[in-house]
């Protein structure tokens, strides 16, 4: 999968504790996902989620200029 600029995205995921927030508290879900990837993948940006397949698509923005 690629973003709107043709940059390839990496498929990743999070634990069920965070996925449980997807419907229960969407704002908290987004916050938790952002924090998770900020800690574990500095310089990567969450681009898209797929709840049915439990996929989080992230983009490597390290050294990237827009």
- Residue-level pLDDT at 66: 64
Q: Is the dihedral of CA 50, 51, 53, 57 positive or negative?
A: positive
Specify the DSSP class assigned to residue 51. T
Q: Compute CA 40 distance to the chain's CA centroid, rounded to the nearest angstrom.
A: 11
- Residue-level pLDDT at 58: 98
Dist. CA 17–CA 29, nearest whole Å: 10
- Residue-level pLDDT at 26: 98
Mean per-residue pLDDT pooled into runs of 10, the chain (66 residues): 92 98 98 97 96 97 81
């Amino acid at each position: 999968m690629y973003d709107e600029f043709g940059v390839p995205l990496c498929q990743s995921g999070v634990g069920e504790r965070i996925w449980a927030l997807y419907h229960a508290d969407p704002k908290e879900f987004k916050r938790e996902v952002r924090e998770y990837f900020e800690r574990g993948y500095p310089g990567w940006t969450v681009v898209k989620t797929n709840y049915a397949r439990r996929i989080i698509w992230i983009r490597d923005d390290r050294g990237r200029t827009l």
